[in-house]
Amino acid sequence: MRERLKALLGQMRWSGMAAVLDAELDLAERQGTPVPEVLFRLLGAEDAARREKSLAYRLSQAHLPWPWTLQSFPFARQPSVNKAQVMTLAGLEFLRRGENVLLIGPPGTGKSGIAVGLLREACLNGYRARFYNAQALLDALYASLADRSTVGLLNQLCRMPLIAIDELGYLNLKPEQVNAFFRLMDQRYSLGLSTLISTNLDLPDWYELFQKKPLVDALLDRLQHRCIILRLSGPSLRSEPGSAPTITAAASVAAAKCSASRNVAPTDESAAS
């Protein structure tokens, strides 16, 4: 009967339940466990396995460039960063409210570290998120104009509850890129989606970057309507060897397994989606 059960679980792709079937049935035989309790434990194992698989999928799709976490951020070395404020953001209320987050400061002050940490927290809590380098994103938007796939790309970007746009600085932008970026931000604003932007440019400098005052006026109006701004300063965290926030592979796996047991948000999607 066990082999038939395993074959059936395999057909249904219930790998979590299959992995613990023998152990749970052996335990039930030794202890005389009631059938409902056995079923509950088996279903719990399947649920945990699916959560862990879904978490791994979200993390892979987020394209996080570094394995950083907010817990590994060197707050002691960057006094301009309000740790309490950052950890409050980690609670993701800004995401549930559809608020944007702007990280403004000189290079090396920790903007990218905080951005990556917040995206990781979103993934761990059941949200789909994606990290983009600003230049790469703008280049992709420009390339989409050639094959007329811009609408599809914008729709794809607007299926993510949270995206991070990193290193929005002095870039060489074509007018078409500027227009496409505005379309992206306008569409996300209309849908009430959160966007996280790290930049070394203060907001008045965006006029020089985008070169279109009416467009920048409209962009900043939408961006700041629901927005949290963090201003970073101080020395570069790259100034000392080994100063970048890191996390070990073992710690990353442990965090993932721990988070897999959490109650995920309604926006969670399975790996098969």
Distant-in-sequence, close-in-space partners of 140: CB < 8 Å, separation ≥ 6: 153
pLDDT at 269: 36
CB 116 within 8 Å of CB 66: yes
Pairwise CA distance, residues 258 & 261, whole Å:
6
CB 187 within 8 Å of CB 98: no
User: What is the tens place of the pLDDT at every residue in 75-90?
Assistant: 999 989 999 999 999 9
pLDDT at 65: 94
CA 172 to chain centre: 27
Residue 230 to residues 45, 74, 195, 200, Cα–Cα distance (Å)? 41, 16, 14, 12
Residue 1 to residues 6, 25, 131, 184, Cα–Cα distance (Å)? 9, 11, 48, 56
Per-residue pLDDT of the chain (273 residues; tens, 9 = 90+): 888 888 988 888 888 888 998 898 888 889 888 989 988 988 898 888 888 888 899 999 999 999 999 999 999 999 899 999 999 999 999 999 999 999 999 999 999 999 999 999 999 999 999 999 999 999 999 999 999 999 999 999 999 999 999 999 989 899 999 999 999 999 999 999 999 999 999 999 999 999 999 999 999 999 999 999 999 998 888 775 444 444 333 334 334 444 433 333 333 433 232
Query: 131: how many CB neighbours lie within 10 A of its CB?
Result: 21
